[in-house]
A and B are shown apart, each in its own frame.
Chain A
Amino acid sequence: MRSHKQSAARAAPLLPLLAKEVREILSGRSLWILLLLLCPLIGYSLFQAVLLYGESSSAALQSPALASSLSPFDGILVPTLGSFYVAVTLLFPFVAIRVLGQEKESGALRLLVQLPYHIPTLVIMKFAAVILAWLLASLPALSALVLWRVLGGHLSFVETSNLLLGHLLYGTLIGALALFAASIAESAATAAIIALAFTIGSWVLDFTIAGQPGLLAWLAKLSLTQTLRPFEQGLFSGGLVLGIVGVIGGFVALASVWLPPGVPPRQKMRRSLPCVMAIAAILGGATQVAWSVDVAEDRRNSFAAADQELLATLRLPLAINVRLAVEDPRYADLQRNVLSKLERAMPNVSVLLAGSRHYPATGSSGESYGEIEYSYGNRSDVSRSTSPREILPLIYNLAGVSQPPPKPGAEYPGYPLVTGANATLLWFFGALPLLIALCWWWIRRPRRFNRFLVHEGGPS
């Protein structure tokens, strides 16, 4: 027998550990049940989306003006993947919790923590298995995109990839959260309650306090549901990606702190503090990262190309003083149509929300309520409009430049398509579930072994 000193001198290989985690995920029922449930969910969403898109397209085929408003990204991709988002929120935690919860319940964790791996290594391998599970779970959603292409639909590679990246980040965030929940809970059932409290609590946060002023607005921003929205708007936001990756890393680190048995809870809490502070610092840093890219094919997050080019040359600071309450719908319009686009187009924009504590009904802010003051260089002007058609000329006037002529050929053409969707039903309600069931059977099929077929660990 080798001594423990000799065995410690050689690092334990990671492959057997990763293989074991993957086997644990694949041999369990939860992933396969999730896959089977995803088939009708995604299938029906795609079927409905193709029908509705077809109805809108039949009118648009007669009119090019209507056609330009038909985007497969909004009409097909977002609603189809929306059902995947619901399933990931409500069902994927059960799959992710299994990688740790099962071992806690069966007592295998007490064997696992004695293996020659650092605790973070154990957690990272489990997290890798969770990511693999998400990738497998995304196959029905990916097959929906393939079906759409087969039906003759259009997909923009960049905006589709960005949306899939958003779903990957959201799925891994849910997976990391579930892993953390499993590390602090004694049983898988308790872990599921903790994870669902986060995810469903996020929905509640989103529905009840979004659009409210002050602390409530800040709390609403912490909702998990906010993570997908920019991706569904065709926006790649550097700050958001940094924030999500930071939180994922934080949950994995916290799971490493809470996993080992034999450490008193007080000590675990002490060790958690730096992780929580690191997450807070990363989130704080992420809010300061304004860099983002409009990857939408219809450039919905940007002004017209000529305006974008001209605005990028305006180097002086543009100060915008908004006298509107944050819950005022006009502010939402202004934010969506003008402010967010200006912040990306111009190098130096600052927005001051001056009316956040005043509501027009009270009359407390007087006649100036609703005014938006734009100051560029030493000139300023006031407008009440929320439309870029009025505000851009105003800014050009302040900067002393003339409005650029529109660039020809830059308009989004739109992609109307009238097609039948019955093939999608055949795939999602017949072929795909059958394929999944076959794979499940194949993984769990009885196999014959003799002692020589057990894999050798390596040279002794």
Chain B
Amino acid sequence: MPPVSPYPLLRVDGLTKRYGGERAIDSATFSAFPGEILGIIGPNGAGKTTLLETIVGLVAADTGEILWRDKPLPASRRRNALFYLPDGVRPYQDQLTADVISFFAGVYQRSLAEIDATLSSFGLTPVLHKRVGALSKGYNRRLLLSLALLTPHELVLMDEPFDGFDLRQTREIIGVLRHHAGRGRTFVLAIHQLVDAERICDRFVLLAGGEVRGLGTLDELRAKASLPSGSLEEIFLALT
């Protein structure tokens, strides 16, 4: 799907993050447009998580700038514009699932209809009475995704959103995210499973060794890699 608007919602400009002498992110530059699903694609260790955490300000960038609707967005104000769902977190283990949902709904003052819609889309109703610590990996992931979608932010960044889901569940979640993108929400997803990424993303940022090696729609990347009918996997291997 082509970008809905020609003007970027978010622009990442020359973002660099070093750990000691090593560049975890090296002058990353790309944009996310309203209503699109942008995939940050790369193998483990490519710098996807560091890139997302640097964008939202959870990790301090060494150089580079984040622009929101073409205006600089300082780290202190990013939480007003962006919401980031990290990978590998299992928060609020001792709390009931219902209480955690209530907490986010209360903070963002969501209506009952919005809560109901979120619970339905992620199939969380059967586990509302369970403690978060007792949830399976899949349900824990569903809970976290539902928290992210209860926020009112126009742009949501998610790190490995399909981790812990089987094929059928992944397709379900893709449907939910597509539904929200169709209503104008923008998603930036860090994904290492290229098949999943190909299914859901409108455009791709190919990341390897902290560097952006390719950027564009699947067709644009095919043209760049001179692989007219290549899969994302083949394109990735060709460009990185």
Contacts and interface: CB of A to CB of B under 8 A. Distances in A.
A240 B80 CA distance: 42
Interface in A445-460: 446-460
A261 B125 contact: no
A84 B112 CA distance: 45
Given A16-B102, A447-B129, A103 B107 contact: no
Which range holds the interface residue count of chain B?
35 or more
A386 B63 CA distance: 70
A182 to B, nearest CB: 16
A214 interface: no
Interface string B58-99: 111000000000000001000111011110111111111011
Contact of B154 (A3, A17, A110): A3
Contacts of B108: 7, 12, 116, 457
Interface stretch (A22-30, A324-332, A420-428): A22-30
B128 interface: yes
Contact of A456 (B89, B105, B180): B105
A114 B56 contact: yes
Interface stretch (B24-32, B114-122, B203-211): B114-122
A20 interface: yes
B95 A24 contact: yes
Given A4-B80, A107-B91, A451-B120, A116 B107 contact: yes
Contacts of A389: none
A263 interface: yes
A27 B109 contact: no
Given A1-B183, A454-B128, A108 B107 contact: no
Nearest to A28: B94
Contact of B129 (A3, A6, A111, A448): A448
Contacts of B91: 103, 106-108, 111
B121 to A, nearest CB: 12
A13 interface: yes
A10 interface: yes
Interface string A94-132: 000000001100111011011110000000000000000
A316 interface: no
A4 B81 contact: yes
B185 interface: yes
Given A13-B106, A16-B103, A108-B92, A456 B128 contact: no
Contacts of B102: 16, 454-455, 457
A455 B106 contact: yes
Nearest to B103: A20
Given A115-B79, A451-B116, A451-B120, A457 B152 contact: no
Contacts of A405: none
A264 B91 CA distance: 24
B105 A261 contact: no
A262 interface: yes
Contact of A449 (B106, B129, B185): B129
B189 interface: no
Given A7-B152, A20-B103, A448-B129, A460 B120 contact: no
Nearest to B83: A114
A282 to B, nearest CB: 28
Interface string A436-452: 00000000001111111
A456 B115 contact: yes
Majority SS of interface residues in chain A? loop
A2 interface: yes
B109 A457 contact: yes
A34 B152 CA distance: 40
Contacts of B154: 1, 3-4
A446 B131 CA distance: 9
B113 interface: yes
A17 B107 CA distance: 7
Given A7-B152, A446-B129, A23 B84 contact: no
Given A448-B129, A449-B98, A454-B98, A2 B152 contact: yes
A150 interface: no
Contacts of A454: 98, 101-102, 105, 115, 119, 128
Contacts of B8: none
B83 to A, nearest CB: 6
B68 to A, nearest CB: 9
Given A4-B154, A114-B83, A453-B98, A16 B58 contact: no
Nearest to B54: A262
B152 A106 contact: no
A353 B81 CA distance: 63
Interface string B114-156: 1110011000010011010000000000000001000011100
A314 to B, nearest CB: 59
A10 B110 CA distance: 13
Given A3-B152, A4-B81, A457 B106 contact: yes
B164 interface: no
A1 B96 CA distance: 26
B169 interface: no
B89 A106 contact: yes
Contacts of B180: 1
Contacts of A262: 53, 57-60, 75
A446 B98 CA distance: 12
Among B107, B128, B147, max chain A CB count under 10 A is at B107
Contacts of B81: 4
Nearest to B101: A454
Interface of A: 1-4, 6-8, 10, 12-13, 15-17, 19-20, 23-24, 27-28, 102-103, 106-108, 110-111, 113-116, 261-264, 446-460
18 contacts: A1-B154, A4-B154, A12-B107, A16-B106, A28-B94, A107-B91, A111-B147, A114-B84, A116-B107, A262-B57, A262-B75, A449-B96, A449-B128, A453-B128, A454-B128, A456-B111, A457-B111, A460-B113
Given A19-B106, A454-B101, 5 more contacts: A2-B152, A16-B102, A106-B90, A116-B107, A262-B53
